[in-house]
Chain A
Amino acid sequence: MKNIPTFFILTILTLLTSTQITACRDLKTVKVGVISPLSGSTAYFGLSVFHSVELAVQNINDKGTTGSGPGILVNGKRYNLEVVSYDDGGSPAKSVAGMRRLVEMHRVPVIFGPFGTPATWACQEINVGLGVLFSGMSASDLSRKKGNPLYFQERLPAIYWGDPMAEACIERGYKKACIIADVNEAYASWAERFKDKFESLGGKVLGFETIDSKSLTDYHSIMTSFKAKGPDIIFLSLYEEPQALAASHALDVGYKGKFLLNSDWGKKSEKIVGLDRLEGSLVEATQWMFYQAHPDHDKKGYLTEYLKQYQNTYGDVPAQPGAHIYGVVYMVARAMEIAGSITDSAAIREASSKALQEGKLPLIFPNTDVLKNGLVYGAPDFLLEIKNGDYMLVQELQVSRELLE
């Protein structure tokens, strides 16, 4: 008789477990694609993108999009998401081949990626013909201006942050600036925009250099020429590591002014240069950087949770594009539920605005809407000032919706 309760409990547990397994097995699968560089020089970003999609899918399959899981609920049927990935090695030609392959072989209705503006532009040429919705990881303004109806751009075009950055510099009395920008369209146009606004506000740009930061390793001479011009501030419109290298080399040649750092600035660049050497410099930052520096501002804790989960799962720290795409997966999954379709790309795209407007998704970047041109809009950026080896919030930055529509 003693064994009866044990037997009873075991029977119930077995039944419960088997029911759960049966339920999971019964869920049909929706395949979603990822195109990212898992090899080559940008593999670090590509891996972050791929792993972040995997992580979001795993969470959605476990808990649902808004906590009512498992999986997604479309027209009363539950589905699990399944990730199918393609390594494009950072080559736009391979991104296009990958898009074709994922659509023709796996019938995916949506693809996350590719990474980078050239690959995004290449995929924009074929995605409508293939009927696939995709989220290109581009910071170029031209990507959204192409008017592709089946396209998402999660990151606001960097160019528009040039205006508030210029205003902030003038407000702080920095009237003379030098600018160094990467040849990449997004960084170059960002710098140009900053220059135009800065000059329109009475500032003077004393030096403007466009370089290919992928091949340039020595900034000493450029910084020597900048230093000789006596600027109050140097705007480094570059990727993360080149920003750090350029700042270090400016300090090497005795530059004593401030820097204006862009949103690619992060933990790695901090370590390379040393925050104590950048006292008074300004940083244009997304939540990614700001919340990591000040987790207390991450009120809902989504970024903190994502970082923790990512590190536990992959034993590594993700790159910023991973955090961006993580939210897009949630948005698309919820849009499938709202649209009542797992195959109609146009309907999913249409429903994505509602998915954000509901405000129920665990978004790292608290976006509020999808504009008609595919821009995912709403999350503010921040202007920070480096003081006593820490980042102090100066002001929140926002680009007007009218400007982007």
Chain B
Amino acid sequence: MTEFFQYILNGISQGCIYILLASGLTLIFGIMNVPNFAQGHLYMVGAYFGFYMVMSLAMNYWLALILSTIALGFIGLLLFRFVFYPMRDTPEVNLFVAAMALLMILEGAALYFFGTETKWFVVPFSRKVLTFGDLSLPVQRVIVILGTLVVMTFLHLFIKKTSIGATLEATAQQREGAMLCGIKVARVSALAFMIGTGLAGIAGVLIGPAVLLEPTMGMGPLLVAFSAVVFGGMGSIPGAILGAFILGLVESLASGYISATYSLTFVFGIMIIMLLFRPKGLLGKETWRP
């Protein structure tokens, strides 16, 4: 039974990274209808920013976390302003291709600035492990879980309790209706992009000290996060959270009880089964059509 609970702990911590990525993805998709394939690579950029600040500038980890989040939010704003906003009235496939192109550009930029050699960053609590009886959890993973909880609580409060958040929700529900009500949809979309990419930045810095950094590190988490969005229901933040949480657990349990080689087979297999029986996803309100 200890083994089972250890898998659950592992799955929760991994699921938290997927939650942050999937929430950003679904937020951007809900507002702009853009499947931001660059989200995984923005997560990679966030991790590299954290690495640079902590290891090269000897900055405090928490400060690096805040600054990386702001930097990623700013990058999101630039992406929106100079890439996605000008393309807003073009066919959706253009947005799709632009997101794919950004993914490659970000990977190239990381290769150029940080090289091909794997990087890692050490923080004071990198090697500390908490034990609860026979269960163990590294402090960094505890930070990932707590950090995700805090961020998602703030995001929830922001959307539900502030007027700006209400405009986000309104735009996501009915874009034209929001425009008719006087909501400046372009600004709301820019904000959604900033929050979405900022979440990727947070995920990158949170997980950074627990993994190895390389320019392609975002691809795996992106695939699972995207599946979580589809699994939970496109455009639904609670759906994305639930989907990411479930897929994180499935991945962990499959790795432990069956084989790590096939863990993603189970993740994607479950997603396909879900789509066959419930095409709108767990909490989706309508079927998503590309």
Q: Which of A39, A222, A241, A254 contacts B255 (CB 8 A)?
A: A222
Q: Which of B7, B116, B137, B138 contacts A44 (CB 8 A)?
A: B116
Q: Which of A43, A221, A271 contacts B10 (CB 8 A)?
A: A221
Q: Does the CB pair B212–A221 fall under 8 Å?
A: no
Q: Does the CB pair B116–A254 fall under 8 Å?
A: no
Q: Does the CB pair B261–A210 fall under 8 Å?
A: yes
Interface presence of A253 (CB below 8 A): yes
Q: Which parts of B205-223 form the interface with A (CB within 8 Å)?
A: 211-212, 214-217, 220
| A274 to B, closest residue via Cβ | B127
Q: Does the CB pair B138–A252 fall under 8 Å?
A: yes
Interface presence of A220 (CB below 8 A): yes
How distant is the Cα of A241 from the Cα of B6 in the complex, in angstroms?
24
Q: Which of A219, A225, A268 contacts B3 (CB 8 A)?
A: A225
From residue B256, how far is it (CB to closest CB) to chain A in Å? 4
Given A216-B260, A245-B211, output 11 extra A-B contacts at Cβ < 8 Å.
Answer: A40-B116, A183-B261, A215-B220, A221-B7, A221-B10, A221-B11, A224-B6, A224-B256, A228-B3, A252-B129, A274-B127
Q: Which parts of A271-293 form the interface with B (CB within 8 Å)?
A: 271-272, 274, 277
**Chain B residues within 8 Å of A41, by CB:** 116, 214-216
How distant is the Cα of A42 from the Cα of B111 in the complex, in angstroms?
11
Interface presence of B153 (CB below 8 A): no
Residue positions of A touching B, CB distance < 8 A: 39-44, 183, 209-212, 215-222, 224-225, 228, 241, 244-245, 248, 251-254, 268, 271-272, 274, 277
Interface presence of B14 (CB below 8 A): yes
Given contacts A218-B10, A221-B256, A224-B3, whether A254 and B117 have CB atoms under 8 Å apart is no
Q: Which of A210, A215, A244, A254 contacts B136 (CB 8 A)?
A: A254
How many B residues, CB 8 Å from partner?
40
From residue A270, how far is it (CB to closest CB) to chain B in Å? 12
From residue B43, how far is it (CB to closest CB) to chain A in Å? 12
Interface presence of B259 (CB below 8 A): yes
> Which residue, of B212, B252, B255, has the highest number of chain A Cβ atoms within 10 A?
B255
Q: Which parts of B135-175 form the interface with A (CB within 8 Å)?
A: 135-138, 141
Given contacts A40-B116, A44-B115, A251-B129, whether A241 and B259 have CB atoms under 8 Å apart is no
How distant is the Cα of A297 from the Cα of B94 in the complex, in angstroms?
62
| A210 to B, closest residue via Cβ | B261
How distant is the Cα of A217 from the Cα of B224 in the complex, in angstroms?
13
**Chain B residues within 8 Å of A217, by CB:** 211-212, 217, 220
List 3 A-B pairs, minimum CB-CB distance, nearest first. A221-B255, A254-B136, A221-B256
> Which residue, of B10, B135, B216, has the highest number of chain A Cβ atoms within 10 A?
B10
Q: Which of A212, A245, A253, A274 contacts B212 (CB 8 A)?
A: A245
Q: Which of A225, A268, A272 contacts B256 (CB 8 A)?
A: A225
Can you give 10 A-B contacts (C-beta < 8 A)?
A44-B115, A44-B116, A209-B260, A210-B261, A211-B261, A221-B260, A245-B211, A252-B137, A254-B129, A254-B134
Q: Does the CB pair B260–A222 fall under 8 Å?
A: yes
